[in-house]
């Protein structure tokens, strides 16, 4: 049991955060998790505009990183016709639509999932140019009819 220096309640050690680095690494903080959460919420509300600005800045940074990541992957020739096109012309076509979790663009720019998840989804795809992708889609739809 440990007493919180903010609220004065005695709580179990699991209710306190541990220091991760520094001279006192491994020791527990003086304030409990609940008090730190309240402090964090208050700070956010007092500095809302700044927090929103920083969140937007972080999101833009992630998007730029992901665009560069996809640009490198898309720097290959089309799987079907063998021609090489700029990255913005290349598409990821899922080989088996039943195994598709989501589109690469959704995972990359909307949901902002980790690179590992994006790579897993890319592994289910062929890299094709926009023309070949349209042709593949048309042929798939013809088979269904």
Answer yes or no: is pLDDT of 44 > 80.
Answer: yes
pLDDT at 94 (0 to 100): 94
Mean pLDDT for 51-56 is 96
3-state class of 80 per DSSP? coil
C-beta pairs of 84-89 under 8 Å, 24+ apart in sequence: 85/129, 85/130, 89/129, 89/130
Give the rounded percent of residues in the chain with a pLDDT score beyond 70: 99
Give φ, ψ of 71 to 5 degrees: -60, -40
Digit-coded pLDDT (tens) for 91-105: 999 998 888 999 999
| CA-CA-CA-CA torsion sign (43, 48, 54, 59) | positive
CA dist 73 and 89 (Å) reads 13
- From the list 135, 134, 63, the residue with the least C-alpha distance to 105 is 63
- The model carries a pTM of 0.67
Answer yes or no: is pLDDT of 145 > 80.
Answer: no
pLDDT at 22 (0 to 100): 92
pLDDT at 114 (0 to 100): 87
């Amino acid at each position: 049991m440990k007493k919180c220096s903010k609220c004065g309640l005695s709580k179990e050690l699991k209710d306190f955060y541990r220091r991760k680095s520094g001279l006192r690494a491994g020791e527990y903080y003086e304030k409990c998790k609940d008090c730190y959460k309240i402090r964090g919420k208050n700070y956010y509300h007092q500095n809302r505009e700044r927090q929103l600005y920083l969140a937007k800045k972080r999101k833009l940074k992630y998007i730029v990183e992901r665009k560069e990541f996809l640009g490198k992957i898309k720097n290959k020739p089309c799987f079907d016709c063998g021609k090489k096109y700029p990255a913005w012309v290349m598409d990821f076509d899922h080989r088996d639509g039943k195994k598709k979790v989501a589109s690469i663009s959704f995972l990359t720019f909307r949901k902002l999932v980790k690179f590992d998840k994006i790579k897993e989804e890319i592994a289910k795809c062929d890299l094709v140019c926009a023309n070949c992708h349209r042709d593949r889609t048309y042929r798939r739809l013809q088979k269904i009819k």
